[in-house]
């Protein structure tokens, strides 16, 4: 009789991380006491946020100072860790019993001064000029995508408005990403599929087997097919309008702001129409095994769902990485429709649904 053989148990992958506080590696101190580590990466004006929750029942930890520097890398044991940049401690909470220390840190260089209100009028300048001037004021490195950086603005006022708020408004007008990441002030088109330096981003291919939770949603409230923007003629001062999209369509969204030139009005209308199309469908998807290399603006395709979902080209809007004893290491994605010039399938799909 043959002797039964036992197969060795398959090892589960183990999450790994490296955390430094003011240059000192404190990963080993955190390891036995870490309740959860959550990193939320966004492309909008909100900073990236790192939340650390620690078991302090033994009184192990001193309360860190606000403004302390944290650097984070995450991944899996046995693999190279992915650098997630630098953060500044913004909030601390100690609660109990049992005693728990919670540390919240935000993207480095998202300084308070960027939220101070100021007065300035900008005349005949490019977006690169504006972003460069503001970056210099806050000692930040500038990363502006070349094409959008060359756009010239006839006139725009920054009236009792912070630099952060002003740049956010400017980015929205041109459907751009504006954010501060690791001491870099970024300004680039949304969904370009490229880095600021012009390097193409690889398309991330996900399958139904990659995750354990998803939610697909279509919204009727933003089913506009055209956008109208108003501007003033330089010669006669008359109020004129420009429409971008399907002009004969009755479902036209009208922007409330008046623009200085026809070119600026057209750019704002085009940006809003693109934004509306992206938001017509959204999808949230949690990966069972976290991917530290994921970040906002990555193009995504999915497979194994309904045909309508699989045929839609997606774009990462936000990603939240979580490491904890309960769930291991997971990555939750917030996706929206990517404008893919190689196919009109998703456009016709939305037109059919919206009549």
Question: How far is it, in rounded angstroms, from Cα 355 to Cα 273?
Answer: 17
- For residues 15 and 76, is the Cβ–Cβ distance under 8 A? yes
The whole-number pLDDT of residue 348 equals: 44
The whole-number pLDDT of residue 342 equals: 43
Q: Which residues make beta-bridge pairs with 240?
A: 231
Phi, psi of 49 (to 5 degrees): -125, 130
The whole-number pLDDT of residue 197 equals: 65
* Sign of CA pseudo-dihedral 322, 327, 331, 336: negative
Query: Which DSSP category does 56 fall into?
Result: -
CB atoms within 10 A of CB 247: 10
pLDDT digits (tens, 9 = 90+) for 333-342: 999 888 754 4
Question: How far is it, in rounded angstroms, from Cα 34 to Cα 264?
Answer: 50
* Sign of CA pseudo-dihedral 271, 112, 87, 290: negative
CB atoms within 10 A of CB 344: 10
DSSP calls for 327-348: TEEEEEEEEEE---TT--HHHH
pLDDT-flagged residues of the chain (< 50): 1-2, 4, 8-9, 341-355
Question: How far is it, in rounded angstroms, from Cα 84 to Cα 70?
Answer: 10
Q: Distance between alpha carbon 343 and the CA centroid of its chain, in Å? A: 24
DSSP calls for 115-178: GSEEEEEEEEEEHHHHHHHHHHHTT-EEEE-HHHHT-EEEEEEEEEEEHHHHHHHHHHHTTEEE
Residue of 293, 302, 298 lying closest to 317 (CA atoms): 298
Question: How far is it, in rounded angstroms, from Cα 41 to Cα 30?
Answer: 22
Residue 97, token pair as written in the block: 């019993």
Query: Which DSSP category does 33 fall into?
Result: G
pTM of the model: 0.80
The whole-number pLDDT of residue 236 equals: 63
- For residues 80 and 96, is the Cβ–Cβ distance under 8 A? no
The whole-number pLDDT of residue 228 equals: 85
Length of the chain: 355
């Amino acid at each position: 009789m043959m002797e039964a053989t036992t197969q060795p148990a398959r090892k589960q992958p183990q999450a790994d991380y490296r955390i430094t506080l003011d240059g000192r590696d404190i990963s080993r101190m955190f390891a036995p006491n870490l309740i959860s580590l959550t990193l939320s990466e966004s492309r909008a004006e909100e900073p990236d946020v790192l939340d650390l929750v620690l078991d302090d029942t033994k009184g192990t930890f001193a309360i860190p100072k606000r403004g302390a520097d944290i650097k984070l890398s995450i991944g899996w044991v046995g693999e190279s860790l992915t650098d997630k940049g630098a953060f500044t401690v913004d909030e601390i909470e100690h609660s109990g019993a049992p005693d728990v220390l919670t540390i919240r840190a935000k993207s480095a260089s998202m300084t308070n001064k960027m939220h101070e209100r100021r007065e300035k009028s900008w005349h005949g300048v490019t977006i690169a000029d504006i972003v460069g001037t503001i970056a210099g004021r806050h000692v930040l490195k500038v990363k502006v995508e070349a094409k959008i950086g060359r756009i010239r603005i006839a006139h725009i006022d920054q009236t009792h408005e912070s630099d952060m708020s002003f740049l956010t408004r400017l980015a929205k007008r041109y459907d751009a990403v504006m954010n501060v990441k690791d001491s870099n002030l970024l300004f680039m088109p949304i969904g370009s599929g490229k880095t600021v330096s012009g390097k193409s981003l690889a398309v991330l291919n996900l399958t139904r087997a990659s995750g354990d939770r998803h939610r697909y949603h279509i919204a009727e409230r933003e089913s506009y097919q055209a956008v109208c923007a108003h501007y003033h003629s330089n010669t006669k001062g008359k109020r004129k309008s420009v429409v971008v999209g399907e002009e004969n369509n009755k479902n036209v969204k009208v922007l409330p702001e008046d623009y200085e030139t026809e070119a600026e009005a057209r750019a704002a209308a085009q940006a809003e129409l693109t934004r509306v199309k992206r938001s017509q469908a959204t999808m949230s998807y949690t990966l069972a095994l976290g991917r530290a290399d994921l970040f906002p603006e990555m193009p995504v395709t999915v497979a194994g769902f309904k045909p309508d979902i699989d045929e839609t080209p997606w774009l990462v809007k936000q990603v939240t990485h979580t490491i904890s004893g309960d769930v291991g290491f997971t990555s939750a994605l917030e996706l929206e429709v990517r404008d893919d010039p190689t196919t009109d399938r998703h456009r016709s799909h939305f037109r059919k649904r919206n009549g």
